[in-house]
Amino acid sequence: MTVQTPLTHQDFKSDVKPIWCPGCGDFSVLSAVTKALAELGRPREDIAFISGIGCSSRIPAYTKVYGFHGVHGRALAIAAGVKLARPDLTVLAAGGDGDGLSIGGNHFMHACRRNVDMTYIVMDNQVYGMTKGQASPTTAPDWCNSKLTPEGTGISPVEPVRLALAAGANFIARGFAGNPNEVARLILEGINHPGFSLIHVLSPCVTYRPEQRDWKQAVHASDATPAQLIAEAMHRLASDDGFTTGVLFAGNRQAFMPPRRNLATIADLERKFAS
Amino acid sequence: MSGYSVSVALTGSGGAGAMTAGQILLDAASKAGFYGLMTRSMGPQIRGGEAAALLRISTKPISSLDDHYDLLVAFDWGNIARFAAELPLAANSLVLTDPEQGEVPEPIAVFGARAAELPMKSIASGIPGGRVNMVGLGAAAVLIGLPLDSILSVLTAQLGRKGEEVLAAATAALRAGAEAAAILPSVTKLGTAPKDGVVRWNISGNEAAGLGALKGGIKFVAAYPITPGTEVLEWLAPALDKTGGALVQAEDELASINMVIGGSFAGIPSATATSGPGLALMTESLGLAVASETPLVVVDVMRGGPSTGIPTKSEQSDLNIAVYGLHGDAPHLVVAPNSISDCLYATQWAVYLAEALQTPAIVLSDQAMGQARALIGKPAESPYVAKRLVAEANIENYKRYALTASGISPMAIPGTPGNNYVADGLEHNERGTPSSQASDHQSQLDKRAHKLDAFDYGDLWADIEGDAEIAVVTWGSATGPVQEALLRAKAKGINAKMISLRLILPIQPAKMAAALKGVKKVLVVEQTHSEQFHKFLRAHYDLPKDVAVISQPGPLPIRPAEIVNRLAAWK
Amino acid sequence: MSEVAAFLAHAIALEAEAAERYDELADAMAVHNNEAVAELFRKLAHFSRLHHAEVKEHAKDMVLPQLKPWEYQWQTAEGPEAAPVERTHYLMTPYHCIHLALQNEKRGHQYYADISYKTNDPEVKRLAKEFADEEAEHVVMLEKWAANIKAPEPDWDMDLDPPVVSD
C-alpha cells in the first residue's frame, strides 16, 4: 500500500495561466480557493467548481478540479444541479458581482433560500470588466466612469451580504482579496458549514477601478463572534460600511436535499396504467 | 362515420362535472374492453370555466379524433360559442340538452344535427346527492351502447372510499339517466368489444413521456411548471422519488435547464419538461449543452403561440424554435412522438440518443397528445436506455473534447480520479481550454456536427406506411388524422403512402430520398399557421414537383375528412 | 512545539509565499507580453526558492508545526515578503519590479529584526538575527541593482490602445 501524501494548494492549481490583469484581486481568490481545498483534504476529483461568465468566472480552469464554465448568470443553477444530482461531491460556485447579482440575481435569491449545501464565492469589484467597465449592481450611484452611465447610475447598489441574509443564506462571510489566507479560511468554513454559504470577496479591479487599490486601508476585521440569529445579523449589517471582513452570519438551517429512496420499480409504476 | 367507433362530447361549465364524466366514460370503456381517446378543451378560468370532454371510443386502436361527434351531451350552454368550432356535428348526430338551459344556441344549431331534451338537472334534484353529470353519463352510456356495469364498476372503484352515500347517490343518478334515455332517439352504437386479450393501458401523452424518460434512465429532473407540460412533471415527481431519483422545482426555466446541465455533467441522466415560452427561455443554455457536449432531454409540450398564446390548446408551432432556435451552429437532436404511446417510445429513444451522442435532445410533444388520454394496448418494451461513453480513471493527458472517429469523446464524470477538466461554453480545444483560434473552432464544430450525422438512427427516423405515388408527409400529432384518412381513402380506392418523421434533427436526406422514391405527389399535413414543417422539408429535403399543403393553426385539430378530400381532389 | 520550530515554519512559509507570488506575477506578465518583467520576476522567484531551501536546511532535523495558511502570525495580511498583488501593472518596467522587490525584502528584514529584538528564546534570537542580516544583504543588493536602472518615463503606463472586450 502506498502512503498518499496530502495535496498541497499547488496541487490544486492547473497549468492554465490566468488572463486576469496583473494586480487583479482574483489572483488572490484563486490562491485562497486552492489553499482552502488543500486544507479540506478531499481528493481533487470529488470537487466540482462551477462558474458563469465574467473575468472572475474564468477561475475553474485555473484549478485542478472538475469544473464547469457555463453561460452568464447561471452558475448557481448548474452548481445546484450538480449537488442535487450528486450529493457526494463538494460543490463550489464562483463569479463576479454582475454575474451573480444582476443577470443571475434571481438564482442568487433562490440559491440562498433553497439552501443546497454549496459554497458561492462572489468576487466583487463593482464593475463589468470583460465588457469594458460598465456599472454593476454593486457600483455606487455616482460612479461616472462608464460610457453607458456617464452621469452615474443614480441607482442604489445592492449589498450582497444583506441580500443573502434576507433571502435565507445559511452562512455569510466577507473577505478581502488582499488577505488571501483569511479568504481561504472563510471559504473552508463555508464549505464545512451545512447549506448555502456566501463568501463575498472584495476583489479590486485595477484596470477599471484603480481607486480600489485603497481598499486595503478601508477593510477591517469584524471583532464580533459570528451572528447566529438573523435579527442580530440584520442589526449589525444595517450599519455595516461594506468593508467588515469575517464570518457575518452562521445559521443553523438544515440543507436542502431530496431523499433518495427505492420504494418501487418501474414495473410497479406501470401497473397503475393497466385497467 | 368510421364504422368502428363512436364519438361523444360532454360539455358544461362551472362545476357541472363534464371532465369527470368524460374520465369515467373513458375508464368504463377500458373496463369493457374498448380502445379509446379523450382530449379536453377548457376555458382559461382556474375554476368554473367552460369545459368539454371529447371522447372517441372504438373497437380497434385509434390515433385520432373523428370528423364529428355522434353525441353531444350539454349539461349547460355557458360560453359554448367559445369552443363550438371544436364540436363539429353531422346531420345524424344527436344533441342532448337540458330544457332548463334553454334552446340549442346558434353556434351549435348551425351544424343541423338532431336534438333531444333530457331534464338532467330536474332528474338529479330528485335524487339526494344526485349530480347532473351522472345523469348525463347514464344517458350517454345507454345511447352509445356501453354496458352500464362497466361504469358502475368504475364508480365503485373511484367513489367507494368516499362512502356508501356518495356512491349510492351517483349510482342512482346514473341509473335514472340511463332509464330516461330509453325513449330518446337512437345514436350510432358501439360494436362488440374486441376480445383480443391485449392488456389495456389508460395513459395520457404527458404520463407516457414521463414514463419514457424514466425507462430511458433519467434520474434527475429540474423543472418549472407550465401548461400543458406540467403533467409530465407531476407524473415524474413521485415516480422518481420512488425509484431512487429526484425532481426539483426550479425558480424559472433558466434555472431548470441549467440544473439539468449540472446534473448531467455530474454523470446523472437528466431531463426537464416545458412548453413554448419555457423552451424559449432555455435556448441559450441549450447552446451551452451543445458546446459543452452535455447530454440532456427537454420535453416541449407545444401549445398555441407565440408568447403566452393559447396555453391550454395544441399547435405544432414550436418546430422552428426547436430546430433553429439556438444561436451559432449548434447541432442537436429534435425528436417528435407521433401518438400518445409514442410519447413513451420517442422520449425513451431521445434519452438514449442524447446520452449516446452527448448533446441535448428536444422532444416535441404537444397539448393534443400530452393532455389526451388513450386506451391503448400495453406498450411493448423498448431496448433504448441511456448509455454514455465515459472515461476510465487516470487517463494520461485526458482530453474531454478529443477528436475521435465517431466524434464522440469519453466523458469524465466527477469522482473519476485523474481526469479533471472544465466543461466550457466558450469554444475550446480538445482539452477544454478556451480557444478563439480558427482551427479549434473548425475542428470542434466539425466534431459536434459529425457525431450526429455519422450516427445510425435505424428505422426509427420515421414511420412509413403503405407504398404509392402519393405520399403524405407529416409529423407529431398530425399523424393520427393522416393515418385514419389514409385508411378511409384506401376504402375509396385512393392509395397513399405515409411518412411521419420522428427524427426531425439531424436531417436524414438519404433515408428520405429512399422513402420518396417513386413518389410523384406529396401532401404535407401539419398544424401551424406559417407552414413551418413544409418550409422545413423544403429547406432540407428534395421533394417532387407536385406538393400540396394542409396547414392550419391550433386549436382546431386536423380532421381526417379534410385530408381525404384533398387526396380525392388530386385524383 | 519549540519556539524555534514555530519560527522556522514561519520562515519557510515566508519564502515559499514570496516565491509563489513571484511565479504568479511572472506568469501574469508573460500572459500580458511583458517578457522583460516576467523574466525579472522569475529571477526573484528563483532567489526566493534558494532561500526557501536554505531555511529548510536549517529545519531538516526538526518536527515543524503544521499550520494552516491563516494560522501564521504575520504582522501583515500575507507573508511579509509576498509581493502585494495590487502593486503590479501589466506595463510595469524593470524599475518598478526591482523597487517592488526591494520593498518586499525590506519588510522581510523588518520582520526578522522585530523577532530578534522581541524574542526571549536565544536560538530564535540567533536565527532571526542571521536571517535579518541576510535580508539586509538582499536589500543592499537590490538597492544597487535599482540604482543602475533608469526611472521610466512619466507616461510609462500609457496604453495606446483601449482595453479589449472579452467574454
**Chain B interface test: which of A68, A90, A271 (most B C-beta within 10 Å):** A68
Classify residue B73: in a domain, yes or no.
Answer: yes
Classify residue B191: in a domain, yes or no.
Answer: no
Residue A184 has its nearest CB partner, among C29, C69, C163, at C69
Question: Could you tell me the CATH number of the domain that includes residue B328?
Answer: 3.40.50.970
The reply to whether residue A24 touches residue C24, judged by beta carbons under 8 angstroms, is no
Q: Hey, is the C-beta of A46 within 8 angstroms of any chain B C-beta?
A: yes
The reply to whether residue A69 touches residue B426, judged by beta carbons under 8 angstroms, is yes
Q: Total domain count for chain C?
A: 1
pLDDT of residue B530 exceeding 80, the answer is yes
pLDDT of residue B14 exceeding 80, the answer is no
Together in a domain, B68 and B151: yes
Residue of C nearest to A36 (CA): C69
Model-level pTM? Answer: 0.96
Summarised one tens digit per residue, pLDDT across range A157-201 is 999 999 999 999 999 999 999 999 999 999 999 999 999 999 999
Classify residue C164: in a domain, yes or no.
Answer: no
Phi, psi of A83 (to 5 degrees): -70, -40
Together in a domain, B264 and B360: yes
pLDDT of residue A26 exceeding 70, the answer is yes
Q: A9-216+252-271 has which fold?
A: Rossmann fold (3.40.50)
Question: Under 8 Å CB-to-CB from B414, ≥6 apart: which residues?
Answer: A45, A46, A47, A48, A66, A82, A86, A89, B265, B266, B267
Return the closest-CA partner of residue B71 out of B33, B119, B22, B23.
Answer: B22
The set of cell numbers assigned to B70 is 355522434
Q: Which of residues 240-259 of A touch B (CB under 8 A)?
A: 258-259
Classify residue B193: in a domain, yes or no.
Answer: no
Rounded Cα distance between C19 and B132, Å, is 87
Domain termination site, one of B331, B353, B377:
B377
Classify residue B188: in a domain, yes or no.
Answer: no
Together in a domain, B307 and B233: yes
Residue C109 confidence (pLDDT)? 97
Residue C1 confidence (pLDDT)? 47
The set of cell numbers assigned to B53 is 370532454
Q: Between chain A and chain C, how many beta carbons pairs sit less than 8 Å apart?
A: 91
The whole-number average pLDDT for the span B532-552 is 98
Name the neighbours of C, counting chains with at least 3 Cβ pairs within 8 A: A
Residue B258 has its nearest CB partner, among A81, A262, A266, at A81
The whole-number average pLDDT for the span C141-152 is 94
Q: Between chain A and chain B, how many beta carbons pairs sit less than 8 Å apart?
A: 190
Together in a domain, B393 and B473: no
Cβ contacts of C162 on chain A, cutoff 8 Å: 132
Classify residue C118: in a domain, yes or no.
Answer: yes
The reply to whether residue B202 touches residue A275, judged by beta carbons under 8 angstroms, is yes
Residue of A nearest to C163 (CA): A132
Q: Total domain count for chain B?
A: 4
The reply to whether residue B263 touches residue A82, judged by beta carbons under 8 angstroms, is yes
Q: Where are the domains of chain A?
A: 9-216+252-271
Rounded Cα distance between B115 and B92, Å, is 10
Question: Under 8 Å CB-to-CB from A239, ≥6 apart: which residues?
Answer: none
The whole-number average pLDDT for the span A131-147 is 94
The set of cell numbers assigned to B125 is 334534484
Question: Could you tell me the CATH number of the domain that includes residue C17?
Answer: 1.20.1260.10
Summarised one tens digit per residue, pLDDT across range B239-295 is 999 999 999 999 999 999 999 999 999 999 999 999 999 999 999 999 999 999 999
Together in a domain, B149 and B25: yes
Question: Could you tell me the CATH number of the domain that includes residue B540?
Answer: 3.40.50.920
How large a percentage of chain C has pLDDT more than 70? 99
Together in a domain, B209 and B309: yes
Together in a domain, B440 and B467: no
Classify residue B244: in a domain, yes or no.
Answer: yes
Residue A75 confidence (pLDDT)? 98
For C84-98, give one letter per residue: b (16+ CB within 10 A) or e. Answer: bbbbbbbbbbbebbb
Per-chain mean pLDDT for chain B: 96
- Banded pLDDT at C66 (limits 50, 70, 90): very high
Summarised one tens digit per residue, pLDDT across range B312-352 is 999 999 999 999 999 999 999 999 999 999 999 999 999 99
**Chain C interface test: which of A9, A12, A24, A28 (most C C-beta within 10 Å):** A28
Together in a domain, B176 and B215: no
Q: Could you give the ipTM of this predicted complex?
A: 0.97
Are B220 and A85 in contact by the 8 Å Cβ rule? The answer is: yes
Return the closest-CA partner of residue B560 out of B496, B503, B466, B512.
Answer: B496
Q: Which domain covers residue B542, as residue numbers?
A: 461-570
pLDDT of residue A210 exceeding 70, the answer is yes
Residue of B nearest to A42 (CA): B415
Classify residue C160: in a domain, yes or no.
Answer: no
pLDDT of residue A1 exceeding 90, the answer is no
Name the neighbours of B, counting chains with at least 3 Cβ pairs within 8 A: A
Together in a domain, B449 and B526: no
Phi/psi-derived region of residue A242, left when phi > 0, alpha when psi is between -120 and 50, beta in every other case: left
Domain termination site, one of B150, B183, B216:
B183
The whole-number average pLDDT for the span B437-444 is 98
Rounded Cα distance between A266 and B131, Å, is 38
Return the closest-CA partner of residue A256 out of A110, A69, A64.
Answer: A110
**Chain B interface test: which of A57, A78, A89, A268 (most B C-beta within 10 Å):** A78
Burial of B247 (0-12, 13-18, 19+ CB in 10 A): buried
Classify residue B194: in a domain, yes or no.
Answer: no
The whole-number average pLDDT for the span B443-447 is 98
Are C84 and A178 in contact by the 8 Å Cβ rule? The answer is: yes
- Banded pLDDT at B45 (limits 50, 70, 90): confident
For residue C154, the distance in angstroms to the closest alpha carbon of chain A comes to 17
Are A57 and A69 in contact by the 8 Å Cβ rule? The answer is: yes
Are A93 and A50 in contact by the 8 Å Cβ rule? The answer is: yes
- Banded pLDDT at C166 (limits 50, 70, 90): confident
Q: Which domain covers residue C109, as residue numbers?
A: 3-147
- Banded pLDDT at A97 (limits 50, 70, 90): very high
Q: Hey, is the C-beta of A66 within 8 angstroms of any chain B C-beta?
A: yes
Residue B261 has its nearest CB partner, among A43, A78, A275, at A78
Per-residue CA distances from B230 to A89, B255, B361 (Å): 30, 16, 19
Q: Which residues pair with B424 in a beta bridge?
A: A69
- Banded pLDDT at B416 (limits 50, 70, 90): very high
Together in a domain, B46 and B162: yes
Q: Hey, is the C-beta of C134 within 8 angstroms of any chain A C-beta?
A: no
Residue C119 confidence (pLDDT)? 95
Are B334 and B364 in contact by the 8 Å Cβ rule? The answer is: yes
Together in a domain, B231 and B175: no
Domain termination site, one of B321, B347, B377:
B377
CA atoms within 13 A on the CB side of B179: 8
Question: Under 8 Å CB-to-CB from B13, ≥6 apart: which residues?
Answer: B43, B48, B49, B50, B51, B75, B76, B78, B79
The whole-number average pLDDT for the span A226-254 is 96
Residue B1 confidence (pLDDT)? 46
Together in a domain, B301 and B400: no
